[in-house]
Amino acid sequence: MTHVAAMPGAGSASSLPVWLFVAYGGGHVKALLPVALQAQAQGLARVVFLALTTAAVPAREAGVPTFGFADLLGPSDTQALRHGERLVQTLSVQAAQREESLAYLGLSYAELEADVGESEAAARFAQYGRQAFLPVRVLERAIERWQPVCVLTTNSPRAERAALLAARRQGVPSLCLLDLFGLWERDWLVRPDYADALCVLNPQVASSLVAAGRPAAHIHVTGNPAFDSIHDPAVIAQGQALRREAGWSALRVLFYASSPEPEEVTGIAGRGDPAWPRRIEAQLIEAVQRDPALALWVRRHPSEAPADDVEAAGHPRIRVAQGPLHPYLHACDEVVVTVSTVGVEAALAGREVTQVRGSILDGLSPYRAMGIAQRELALDAIASDLASPVAATGRAADGTPGQAAARVLALARRLAKAGAT
């Protein structure tokens, strides 16, 4: 799956030091790609992006040299390939090219089997699936192949975690960019030998890591580059236009970012209510219907059923959000969430955030404690309490808005310089 993109100043690219980026898809690749693109555009490094599962497509389309586990296969990996052929048949969703899935599963499983034995590997995979993988030696292959002076990942487990452990073994400086709060991964994030630097969202996340034992000198408040576009002037103007076109300039505008509620989650006690997002939505709609000073945009998660029923009702102050998210954050006054990461993005946009508590995932999204939400509401308090705006707090993003990628880049340069000497 190797894909090598041309770089500015490509004639001298081979003489540049290598920065190895490792990321899964979704929010992880979105966080790291802006840093890789800046490093490449500024001629600071020869970027090598090990893009895992669904990360391959956005990395390749962005124009960075993109690789995968298939590029790490060697002549002696016949047993790994047999494992891969067997395990690829178990995938319910083919999230990557078959060749890449086969290599990822096969190499990871072969390392697990070598570490714990045949029967124990089978038992662990049967119980945990891919969560049983930690392919450190596979990632050491990547470091040996490309000889990076710096390794950059996010806080995802498995291969990203393995990349940081491999970098430590090989004496290569490394950086871990936390996409949000790092709660699932707290046990290893707080270890002083886990990455040389942690880049975090805000001071509250930094303080929580220090309180858990991580030296403060290792932690840097950079923000998340995936959210930098929130502050794009064109995006802000689009939001202002949305509000004007809706005729809501004189109203207090709410934005509900719905997110699915699982019935059960491994490692979390209790049972969730899949109807929870719709129950909150109903309370918000009722509040707006009763209060002529309120308006509401409803945005359901892509994995939820479309809000056709809301749109069909045709209420003049209740609409369904269509299109990109970020303009809507600048078209409202207050964002209501349960555990959606839209709450984090809204806070960065300077919106007030209200979190409705009661989700099975509450413990993973302590938005008020982390400085994201200004208030928390129970379901039965929505209709009454939304009538009162959140007290103004003069919110502002930490550091210079929209510059998270530049801050991470500056830190990576310092690490890379140390790694090259």
pLDDT in tens, 261-278: 877 766 677 787 888 899
| Residue 14 CB-density burial (10 A; 0-12 exposed, 13-18 middle, 19+ buried) | exposed
pLDDT at 385 over 90: no
At 6, the pLDDT band (50, 70, 90 cuts) reads very low
pLDDT at 11 over 60: no
**Taking residues 188-201, what's their average pLDDT?**
89
**Taking residues 115-139, what's their average pLDDT?**
89
Compute the Cα dihedral for 74, 78, 80, 86 and give only its sign. positive
pLDDT at 95 over 60: no
Mind listing the domains of the chain with CATH numbers? 10-223+402-420 (3.40.50.2000), 230-385 (3.40.50.2000)
Cα–Cα distance for residue pair 178/200, rounded to 1 Å: 5
Cα–Cα distance for residue pair 84/226, rounded to 1 Å: 32
pLDDT at 27: 84
pLDDT at 10: 40
pLDDT at 413 over 70: yes
Whether the CB-CB separation of 139 and 9 falls below 8 Å is answered with no
pLDDT at 420 over 80: no
Average pLDDT, the chain: 87
pLDDT at 331: 96
pLDDT tens track for 128-177: 888 889 899 999 999 999 999 999 999 888 899 999 999 999 999 999 99
Quick check: pTM over 0.75?
yes
Whether the CB-CB separation of 108 and 74 falls below 8 Å is answered with no
Compute the Cα dihedral for 396, 353, 330, 275 and give only its sign. positive
The lowest-confidence range among 184-193, 197-206, 323-332, 351-360 is 184-193
**Taking residues 62-70, what's their average pLDDT?**
93
